[in-house]
A and B are shown apart, each in its own frame.
Chain A
Amino acid sequence: MTRRAVPGPNGEAQIHRGNAPGEARCGGTWTLRGIASLEPRLEAFSWPAEKELALDCSEIAAMDTSGAWLLQRTLRALERRDHHVRLHGLRTEFDALLKLVASRVPEKRAPTPPAPGALTRIGQQAWRGLVNTSGMLSFLGEATAALLRALVQPRRIRWKAILHNLQTGGFEALPITGLLSFLLGIVIAYQGAEQLRRFGANIYIADLVGLSMVRELSPLITAIIVAGRSGSAYTAQIGTMKVTEEIDALRTIGVAPLDLLVLPKMLALIVALPLLTVYTDIMGIFGGMVMARAQLDVGFGTFVDRLDDAITLRSYLIGVGKAPVFAAIIALVGCYQGFQTTGSADSVGRQTTKSVVQAIFLVIVTDALFSIAFSWFKL
């Protein structure tokens, strides 16, 4: 069973013109390793002009399927140019290999479907966008229905899962959200300090930092961080469960995936995000205070006194009140994208990216809508 001789040091596949008219000779090792240098030479090879060609293959020392294919391809190309090729001297086992390749690979390659045109692509994109939106809306509906069912029958609520999600999505996010909002407070105070000093309005640093953090920045930055942390985790978890058919298994056992996987995440995040926002309010303002003392000589006591007048209860509640909405968006998008995963590791990655991008996008759009609505109602 030795179909291959060991290739020698210069065991490359060869082709050259023979002595007789209409003759060509092949030799060397027609193997995957040996044909690399032959392929370009074969393209440029000047075949004899005669219609009847004789191909002497007696010097071919080794052949594998790759070499057999190259020979087969060459023969087919010659026949297309109306040559009639007669092989001789090919060893029987190589001949069998050549026939095998010839029989398995059809003469005509299956036509590749033409690439879609620009208009088709735009149409497909738009359609996909529509399907995605309607899918998201129906998912929102299903989740709301599941939530209502859970409120009617509270024993359907999975407290353990909620507590677990509170821990991972809320408590464990404390360090990073705290640090980032503290830094954000410092940056705002630093940028504002120069302007305020010019007008001698140093004390208004408390208004600047306090109001911007509490009303806008703190809920937003917290939601963005949580979307990156927890939203992606939700998608990856549910997506992987989809790939390994665990979701189907849940359904078979009679556990609604929404009840077990989505509701606890949503409820936990709706509780955790406002709490995190309160915490980041404090950390952000603390950052501003540190900067105010360093740059503007506004002491901690003065700063806190001023905060009393600067931040009304209404501004505070508006800020914290956005958080549950953001939380619902993040949890919904994260879970929805997880369920959209189809069968491969690649798909899990793609959906996770989509989940984070969409969640952050929707959070910012919603925040803008809130601003418009509040100014409309003069809040």
Chain B
Amino acid sequence: MSDAGQRAVDAVVEVRNLRTRLGGAVVHEDVSLSVCRGEIFALVGASGCGKSTLLREAIVLQQPESGSIRVFGQEVVGLSDEQALPLRRRWGVMFERGALFSSLTVTENVAMVLQEHTALGKRLIDENAAVKIALTGLPADAGPKYPSELSGGMRKRAALARALALDPELLFLDEPTAGLDPLSATGIDELVRHLRDALGLSIMMVTHDLDLLWRAADRVAVLGDGRILGTGTMAELARSDHPLIHEYFYGPRGRAAREQAWKHE
């Protein structure tokens, strides 16, 4: 990595020597990684290895024991909700199960964020919400529906529309394709790439989905044993001889996804 210096300057998320303990068990021993501006960065690892915990620490929902996390160059460890607010306006988060407010329609879910944070008029807010909903590929008639009336894939898109409400520079996605059928999941792969290209977003996501990794991720970090086992493009990681990484990518499902990806190329 010859451009390490350049990367440090351009990093949107930078994690250094992170150590986390959850109820006595050490989850992160010593984790360091950085997400560059404009890239789709994926964090993978076995269940329970602390991927989602790391994400929650980056968005200031949880505090690590020690170490530093810088987002947009600003230290977020130890920030109160109030101090985190200006930063939170600059990033959007999509939770694993969508976390749409079930008492509001899809449009209201998106518009609510705009009402809280902008001084726009009601008409422009509603139109803006419609634009965001359209950007995620939802049909216009999804707007007045309640989350319980939507399919899983549509709910993910609606959650993404809410995450995009404030035109963020950075998106955090927690398992964007979890619980989706392959067709809807493919739709999400394309959507993520498309949004990054069209809006110039940086994206940090946590995922298990090997297909999503091959199709969408620019760079992938493998988390295991409390540290980062390897970082690189999927092709680079696939050549890694670290036993845990190897196991991850050369398990039966890993092989199928890899062959699929190569066929595509």
Contacts and interface: CB of A to CB of B under 8 A. Distances in A.
Nearest to B139: A110
Given A1-B37, A344-B102, A65 B200 contact: no
Main secondary structure of the interface of A (DSSP, over half): loop
Contacts of A39: 120-121, 124
Contact of A36 (B102, B118, B169): B118
B166 interface: yes
Nearest to A3: B200
Nearest to B36: A1
Given A106-B140, A110-B141, A342 B131 contact: no
Given A2-B200, A66-B167, A97-B198, A33 B118 contact: yes
Interface string B14-42: 00000000000000000000000110000
Interface string B110-148: 000010001111001001101110110000110010111
B142 to A, nearest CB: 10
Contact of B148 (A33, A35, A342): A342
A139 B160 CA distance: 41
A379 interface: no
Contact of A65 (B119, B140, B144, B199): B199
B167 A36 contact: no
B89 to A, nearest CB: 9
B103 interface: yes
Nearest to B130: A105
Contacts, number: 78
A70 B134 CA distance: 15
Interface string B59-85: 000000000000000000000000000
A96 interface: yes
Contacts of B164: 65
A93 B127 contact: no
B198 A100 contact: yes
Nearest to B164: A65
Interface in A1-25: 1-4
A104 B164 CA distance: 15
Interface residues of A, number: 35
A62 to B, nearest CB: 10
Interface in A333-352: 342-347
A32 interface: yes
Contacts of A93: 200
A145 B120 CA distance: 59
B192 to A, nearest CB: 15
A32 B102 contact: no
B119 A109 contact: no
A35 B199 CA distance: 18
B103 A346 contact: yes
A37 B118 CA distance: 10
A40 interface: yes
Given A69-B127, A69-B128, A73-B127, A344 B147 contact: yes
Contacts of A110: 140-141
A69 B166 CA distance: 13
B60 to A, nearest CB: 21
A64 B166 CA distance: 10
Contacts of A100: 135, 198
A124 B63 CA distance: 51
B122 to A, nearest CB: 11
Nearest to A70: B124
A35 B128 CA distance: 12
Nearest to B137: A104
Interface in A150-173: none
B134 A104 contact: yes
Contacts of B37: 1-2
A214 B128 CA distance: 64
B102 A343 contact: yes
A39 B119 CA distance: 10
Given A345-B102, A345-B103, A35 B140 contact: no
Nearest to A104: B134
A101 interface: yes
A93 B199 CA distance: 9
B166 A32 contact: yes
A68 B128 CA distance: 10
A104 B148 contact: no
Interface of B: 37-38, 102-103, 114, 118-121, 124, 127-128, 130-132, 134-135, 140-141, 144, 146-148, 164, 166-167, 169, 198-200
21 contacts: A1-B37, A1-B200, A4-B200, A32-B114, A36-B120, A39-B120, A39-B124, A65-B131, A65-B132, A65-B135, A65-B164, A65-B167, A65-B199, A66-B131, A69-B131, A70-B124, A101-B135, A104-B131, A342-B148, A344-B102, A345-B103
Q: Would you list the 8 A-B pairs with minimal beta carbon distance, nearest first?
A: A344-B102, A1-B38, A343-B148, A3-B200, A346-B103, A64-B167, A104-B134, A36-B119
Given A40-B121, A101-B135, 10 more contacts: A32-B114, A32-B128, A37-B119, A66-B131, A104-B135, A105-B131, A110-B141, A343-B148, A346-B103, A347-B148
